[in-house]
Amino acid sequence: MKHSTFFWFFLPTGLAMLLFIAFPIVSVLIQSVYAPHEAVLIEVENQGPFGITKSTVVDQEATEALRAAEPLGRFVGLDIYFDRGHLALAEVGQAWSSSASMGEFFSALGNLPFYRALAFTLTYTFTATPMLIILGFVIALAVNTLPRALKGLTIFFSLLPMIVTPLVGSLILFWMVDSRGVIGSFIQYVVGNPDLSLKASTPMMWISLIVYGIWSSAPFAFVVFYAGLQTLPQDTLESAQIDGATRWQQIRYVTIPHIMPLVTFVALIQLMDNFRVFEPIVGFNAEAHATSLSWIIFNDLGGETRLLSSASTTSVLTIIGVAILLSPVLVRTWRDFNAKTH
Amino acid sequence: MLQNSGPEKAPFNWEKLMKHFKTALLSATAVVAFGTMAMADCGIENGRVSIIGNEFPAIQTVAAGAQECASGSVEVKANLTSEHQTLNVAGMTGNPAEYTTAIIANSSIVALINEDVIRPLNDLVEAHGDGLQPNQLIRVGDDIMAVAFMANAQHLVYRKDILEQVGADVPTSYEEMLEIAKKIRDEGILENPISGAYKAGWNLAQEFNNMFLGFGGQHFKPGSAEPNVNSEAGVKALEMMKALSEYMNPDFLTHDSNSAGTEWRAGNVAMMHLWGSRAAVLNDQDGVPEDVKNGTDIAAPMTVGGGSTPATTLWWDGWTVAKNISDEDAAATFLAMKNGIDPKIATNEETRTQAVWLLDGYQPTDAAKGVFAAVDMGTTPYPMLPYMGLMHTALGAELTDFMLGKESAEQALTDVEAAYTAAAKENGFLQ
């Protein structure tokens, strides 16, 4: 393709990417290094239906002048990145020097909102992603062996978890794991403990969230792998069969290598998706047990006084986190690409 | 029918979602109904009125009253949603502002004052304020910033049949509540006799505020934004909450007012601390067992630790007028909203039970006695401070570890102060 042709071909996409991806990121970046002006506070008397109270308000005239002088707010550099709500450098340093053992250090770390969220986010990402890939692959293999007449219906039902809106899906599961719900009662019966409550125990809540994550995303892996299975080289498979390969050996040495690029693709998308886990935490009312980076952003924006700079900072940290997570996969893709073209 | 108290928040709640649909249908019907009614003469010639507010029956009544003022030259529209708080500041910041009035509570007015998007109403009250009660006017310093129309508070809801069964009087303190709960459990009547809105986040923080104020605590050091919750009162408040939670369903950290109400209707609970606006309509649903329906009664909020001020807070709901609109639109908004809170809604058979109206001629209904008792007992109003919202968020996020038994009360309160301090520094309230 000529360079000029490529340029005109790419221009609309490039513009859209600039407008909808690059600019918002730049805006978030700027917002994360600026904070609202220092409030000029004055004491006043408030009077209302319940009597008079002494109170403090923001002196609007004085604040107005500050705002007019610096409309972006006050420049704080990386202060918010390093404060307790985010990377908490001072607190981490203190925990390091005052902790006698690694266990103590990690429990101090778990007390800081960012690291607590990171702990769940990473656990979720690194358990849900491989398991949903395996589950998706198994479903794809199973569906592929079904007689033609049954395939359509089975595929439709296997896709349902992905079609259901995440919030609704997690709410349904939330009701089912209730101590009076179907799954909750069943587990109580199996364990033999009628007082067991999934919602009251942190490990159980984590497991529920991870199970939800696998349930809702496995169909995506399934669809991709199922499509890949349709292009399986039949002659390679037949020669393997003639050589006496068992079904397991056929899968191990023919099927898996064939769909490996798809596994990389699914892993890439799902790592990114799972790192931004949010809906199940809201749907499961799980914030007492598990928080994620996205949930912190939601919480910062949901209060009566919104913390825009703090939310922006967490957003930037999330983007950095996604980039770090994806780097091995991206490096690998780049190597493969180079190996093929050179 | 939903009767949500103003300040509560329960994001992404299925029950609410369904009610949202119902409300949308209702408001559509209301618009049609008013369309055919004779238009009220509100004395407005020209202007634009646009309302943003929470959605519950009392506010729908007020908005419908304001919409009566619509005419060929006066446009009145309303956007009532439980997510109003995320819209009102943004919708009032532009010039001209999209919303000419926001219906808010004493907690949420703070964000509007902080951002300087609402105007003082002194001149409008002087020109058009006849008929408003003096105690309806919310003054911040010398400025009238809002006109209140209803009051709300959390108070006791109890099952008189169960209390009779164990031979107990209505508890007046949390200590008594614990004793009665123990009796009910020991006699095998109910396993978890206490409930409440203890959901992690906003609700849990609000229960702490109640208890903390009941123990005589002060959220901030006098005259400053320095936090002051890591105190004896704070520790005692948390210990009382922990003691109460021993008698609650183990899932209590996932229960907001909706789920607490569901537990109540299912007959699993004998005592709980609930919003007045919700208690009034607690059993207004199909399929509530007769013993629950007949046994439910409400009473004054309880005290704690031998204090005399009840462990609860007082709230008002009221309306404001946007700053960034023309004086004509401001006058139109004021008049339309005044028509919305016409004292007739406090006497009308259908609307008088919807709230504890702060309007002329209002006679308290039986459902209002809890809120009235709260006012009589000198309950502390929810603090109207620029940085209270940040404290509330910090409490909601950091108290769960203590409630789960993972850390001490002192550690939880240290965390709250640290989280608050970081947020207050970012927002310029602390240096």
Closest-CA residue of B relative to A40 is B429
Residues in B touching A49 (Cβ below 8 Å) = 135-136, 138, 148, 151, 316, 358
State whether B113 and A57 contact (CB < 8 Å). Answer: yes
What is the Cα–Cα distance from B216 to B213, expressed in whole angstroms? 5
Query: Does A36 contact B427 at a Cβ distance shorter than 8 Å?
Result: yes
ipTM over 0.90: no
Task: Say which amino acid occupies B378.
Answer: G
Q: Which residues face B299 on adjacent strands?
A: B156
- The answer to the question of residue A46 being in a domain is no
Question: For residues A286 and B190, what is the distance between their CA atoms, to the nearest angstrom?
Answer: 26
Out of A37, A48, A309, closest to residue B381 by CB? A48
What is the reported pLDDT for B219?
A: 95
User: Cβ–Cβ of B384/A171 closer than 8 Å?
Assistant: no
Residue B18's pLDDT band (boundaries 50, 70, 90)? Answer: low
Beta carbon pairs, A and B, within 8 Å: 176
Q: What was the pLDDT predicted at B3?
A: 38
Helix (H, G, I), strand (E, B) or coil at B157: strand
Chain B residues with beta carbon closer than 8 angstroms to that of A41: 225, 386, 429
Cα–Cα distance, B338 to B320 (Å, whole number): 11
Q: For the segment A307-334, what is each residue's pLDDT rounded down to a tens digit?
A: 899 999 999 999 999 999 888 877 877 8
Contact B318, B138 (CB under 8 A): yes
pLDDT score of B35 more than 70: no
pLDDT score, position B239:
97
Q: How many domains does chain A have?
A: 1
**Chain B residues with beta carbon closer than 8 angstroms to that of A111:** 401, 407, 411, 415
Which segment of A57-66, B257-266, B396-405 scores lowest on mean pLDDT?
A57-66
Number of separate helices (H) and strands (E) present in chain B: 18, 10
Residue B260 has pLDDT above 70, yes or no: yes
For the stretch A257-272, pLDDT in tens is 999 989 989 998 999 9
pLDDT of residue B374: 92
Nearest CA-CA distance, residue B189 and chain A, Å? 16
A236 to chain B, closest Cα gap in Å: 52
Out of B389, B407, B415, the one facing A304 most closely (by C-beta) is B389
Using pLDDT thresholds of 50, 70 and 90, give the confidence band for residue B205. very high
Q: Which residue spans of chain B are classified as CATH 3.40.190.10?
A: 14-151+315-369, 153-313+379-426
| Torsion angle (degrees, nearest 10) of CA A325, A331, A332, A335 | 180
Q: Is the pLDDT of residue B20 over 90?
A: no
For chain B, what percent of residues have pLDDT higher than 90?
64
pLDDT digits (tens, 9 = 90+) for B210-227: 999 999 999 999 888 999
Fold exhibited by the domain B153-313+379-426: D-Maltodextrin-Binding Protein; domain 2 (3.40.190)
Instruction: Find out whether B300 and B377 touch, Cβ atoms under 8 Å.
Output: yes
A222 lies in a domain?
Answer: yes
Query: Do residue A55 and residue B140 have CB atoms under 8 angstroms apart?
Result: yes
Closest alpha carbon within chain B to A56 = B385
The CATH number of the domain covering residues in B14-151+315-369: 3.40.190.10
Partners of A35 in the beta sheet? Answer: A74
The pLDDT tens digits of the residues spanning A171-196 come to 888 888 887 888 888 888 888 887 78
**Which of B20, B104, B114, B375 has the most A C-beta neighbours within 10 Å, making it the best mutation to test the interface with A?**
B114
Higher pLDDT, B29 or B149: B149
Q: What residue of B is the nearest CA neighbor of A168?
A: B14
How confident is the model over B329-358, as pLDDT tens digits? 999 999 999 999 999 998 888 888 888 899
Q: Quick check: B85 and B10 in contact, CB under 8 A?
A: no
Query: What pLDDT, on a 0 to 100 scale, did the predictor assign at position B418?
Result: 95
Mean pLDDT, range B381-396, rounded to an integer:
92
Query: Among the ranges A337-341, B108-112, B333-337, B383-387, which has the highest mean pLDDT value?
Result: B333-337
Interface touch B428/A37, C-beta < 8 Å: yes
Question: Is the pLDDT reported for residue B14 higher than 80?
Answer: no
Residue A192's SS3 state is coil
In a domain, A126, yes or no: no
Q: How confident is the model over A57-78, as pLDDT tens digits? A: 888 888 888 888 888 889 999 9
R_g over Cα of chain A? 26
Q: Do A304 and B135 touch (CB under 8 A)?
A: no
Contacts of B358 in chain A (CB under 8 A): 49
pLDDT over threshold 80, residue B29: no
For A288, the closest of B114, B379, B404 (CB atoms) is: B404
User: Can you say whether residue B141 is alpha, beta or left, with left for phi > 0 and alpha for psi between -120 and 50 degrees?
Assistant: left
pLDDT at position A38: 87
Partner residue facing A85 (CB), from B110, B151, B419: B419
pLDDT of residue B32: 42
Burial class (CB in 10 A: 0-12, 13-18, 19+), B338: buried
Taking residues B317-339, report their average pLDDT. 95
Residue with tokens 């603090």: B383
On the question of pLDDT at B407 being above 70, the answer is: yes
Q: Which amino acid is at B259?
A: S
Q: What are phi and psi of A206, to 5 degrees?
A: -60, -45
Percent of chain B with pLDDT over 70: 91
Residue B355: per-residue pLDDT: 85
- Domain residues for the domain of A269 are 131-290+308-337
Res B279: pLDDT: 84
User: Mean pLDDT over all residues of chain A?
Assistant: 89
Say if the Cβ atoms of B138 and A55 lie within 8 Å.
no
Q: Determine the residue of chain A that is closest to B266 in CA distance.
A: A180
| Cβ <8 Å between A179 and B250 | yes
pLDDT-derived band at B11, boundaries 50, 70, 90: very low
CATH code (residue A154) = 1.10.3720.10
C-alpha A151/C-alpha A145 separation (Å) is: 9
Record: contact B381-A44, CB cut-off 8 A: no
The shortest CB-CB distance from A305 to any of B256, B427, B431 is to: B427
The letter for the amino acid at B362 is: Y
Is B419 in contact with A43 (Cβ distance < 8 A)?
no
Instruction: Give A341's pLDDT tier (boundaries 50, 70, 90).
Output: low
What pLDDT is recorded for position A342? 58
Mean pLDDT lowest for which of A217-226, A231-240, B35-44, B101-110? B35-44
